Chains A and B, each alone.
Chain A
Amino acid sequence: MFLTHLTSSPHFYAILYAVICLLAAFNIFEVLFLFAHQYRLKRREAAKEELKHMISTAIITVTEPAAVLPKPGGAMEYEAYSETAASIIESFEGELAERAARLVQEFRISLHYQSLAKNSVWYKRAHAIDILSSLKLKDNRDFFNAAFSSEASNPVKYRILYGLSLLVRDRLDILDLAGKLAALPYLTAKFTEDVFFNCITVLKAAGKEEEFGLFLEQIRSEEGIPVKVKRDCLSACHAAACERAEPAVKEYYKAFQAEPEIIVACIKTLVTAGDFSILPEALRHKDWRVRLTALKHVHLFRSDISPDHNTLLHDPEYHFAALPEILRHKDWRTRLEDLKHAHLGNSEILRALQPLLHDHNYHIRLNAAQALAKMGPRGLEMLREEMTSPDKFAAETARYALNGGWTTQ
């Protein structure tokens, strides 16, 4: 009805023309606005870079940089000061880092972000917490603790804990951190490991690495700390090469025999620290993941335990029962990882290896051939048969292996 009325109107074309003109004007305005915004952003970034350059130069050349630099006024200035200071604090120690930290204090950069961390919007609080964390200032510890108590959003709480992990002083601080972490839903193994990795790094820098071992001992029988968190603590020990925690890790190995993931983390940590004494026992473990982890480190074995090791390696019931299954794993990385140990296996492994010479993944074919080449006459015979295969990639790989392409791992 309305459309009929509109199209029969003598002003229809005039109205249509006006609407088109309006739309065109709107589009032109929108494009101009976007260009202007882009130009403004570029100018802002350029001004920020210029200011960062000035701040860096002042920190390099002047003992008291605050005396020669302008006080920050707007958001851009605060960003430039905090980013420059954070970069320098993270990369340098000594005089330069001290100058950067003094500048942050004198210009009250921390206080600015502490007030932003009380914003009603959660992601703005999270951003402010990230910046405060990057500054690694000890004065922020109390603020973080208070913020954690009053914070309602879990994403912000995780960030606060990350910030706190960079400021720990001793095992009591880590204990408090672990308690706070345990009270939150478990996020990821990577996050938890990173948090404890930070703790170890900070303690190492302060010459108090043994504090982490004491912390591990303290939480071993603590039921309030989930097993997953304990496992991540041990993984952090491995990643940060926390050698002083070795006695505590050994106790975990003894106490958590029913928890394969803990045992796997213990083996990795102990072997990194040069302690192979748990390997013979680990090779007999009922869980295949533990046996496999131990197998991955057998090349580090000491000669006095090798007879035991050799006997075990040829016992299919113990060590290789799981391998054929793993060699057919859907993830090529798993197949590849386990192929590296397949040459130690028995005839069942041999049969499982042959199809892998035709695997679509180059690394798998390569490692399968390598394993077969190490498996004696039967493995070599299989490779010879493969040389006439219609699969030219498999044939080439077999030929390469037989020509001594890989004599050692």
Chain B
Amino acid sequence: MAKILVVDDDEPIRLIYQAYLTKDGHTVETAADGMQALEKIASFHPDLVMLDINMPKMSGFEVAKRMKENPETKDIPIFIMTSLKQELNIKKAYDLGIDEYITKPTSVEHLKLRVNKFLKKKGCGC
């Protein structure tokens, strides 16, 4: 099972992701903003980071950029989870090297399927 870091400034959203992904056997940690996310990435070493874009202190784009610049974190897959649907944002995210761009609203079941399928492909044995 994989270690997943959920980064979202909205507590209900963090709780929901955590509850459903833990039910699938993953170890889930959460962070409420970009700065906290970078600290957690360094200490938790996640297999996957699920990242919101609009957050206080540091945006999801900036977190993704810093992760990709750091040789230790550049290979950690990133899922962007956002309600920003503009083509411009989607392009910007993929240009940064993220792996999936999932627009909200989405169903929890669909999200779990995508996460598990992705992790399986990456060889996490999920």
Contact = CB atoms under 8 A, between A and B. Distances in A.
Nearest to B17: A91
Interface stretch (B38-46, B64-72, B81-89, B93-101): B81-89
Nearest to B14: A56
A272 B105 CA distance: 24
A87 B10 contact: yes
Given A56-B12, A57-B15, A90 B104 contact: yes
Given A90-B105, A97-B105, A56 B11 contact: yes
A56 B106 contact: no
Contacts of A49: 11
B12 A88 contact: yes
Nearest to A198: B85
Contacts of B87: 238-241, 272
B106 A87 contact: no
A93 B105 contact: yes
Contacts of A241: 87
Given A90-B83, A240-B85, A55 B109 contact: no
Contacts of B16: 56, 60, 88, 91-92, 96
B15 A240 contact: no
A201 B109 CA distance: 21
Report the contact-size class of chain B (Cβ under 8 Å from the partner). 20 to 34
B71 to A, nearest CB: 23
Contacts of A239: 86-88
A84 interface: yes
B1 interface: no
A94 interface: yes
Contacts of B86: 197, 239-240
A125 interface: no
Q: Main SS of chain A's interface residues?
A: helix
A87 B107 contact: no
A94 B10 contact: no
Interface string A185-198: 00000000000010
A94 B108 contact: yes
B93 to A, nearest CB: 15
A245 to B, nearest CB: 14
Contacts of B10: 87, 91
Contact of A201 (B11, B12, B19, B85): B85
Interface in B53-95: 81, 83, 85-88
A159 interface: no
Which of A91, A94, A201, A239 has the most CB atoms of chain B within a 10 A radius of its CB? A91
Given A239-B87, A239-B88, A52 B12 contact: yes
B108 A96 contact: yes
A7 to B, nearest CB: 56
A57 B81 CA distance: 21
Interface in A190-215: 197, 201
Nearest to B89: A239
Given A90-B83, A201-B85, A239-B86, A55 B12 contact: yes
A89 interface: yes
B72 to A, nearest CB: 28
Nearest to B83: A90
A53 interface: yes
A94 B88 CA distance: 28
Contacts of A89: 105
Interface string A34-76: 0000000000000001001101110111000000000000000
A133 B85 CA distance: 18
Nearest to B85: A201
B13 interface: yes
Contacts of B104: 90-92
Interface in A216-242: 238-241
B85 A92 contact: no
A303 to B, nearest CB: 25
B30 to A, nearest CB: 12
A167 to B, nearest CB: 15
B99 to A, nearest CB: 20
Nearest to A92: B105
Contacts of B108: 92, 94-96
Question: Which 3 A-B residue pairs are closest in the complex by CB-CB distance?
Answer: A56-B12, A94-B107, A93-B105
13 contacts: A60-B16, A87-B13, A88-B12, A88-B16, A90-B104, A91-B81, A91-B105, A93-B107, A94-B107, A95-B107, A197-B86, A239-B88, A272-B87
Given A60-B15, A89-B105, 11 more contacts: A53-B11, A56-B16, A60-B16, A61-B19, A92-B16, A93-B106, A94-B109, A95-B107, A95-B108, A240-B85, A240-B86
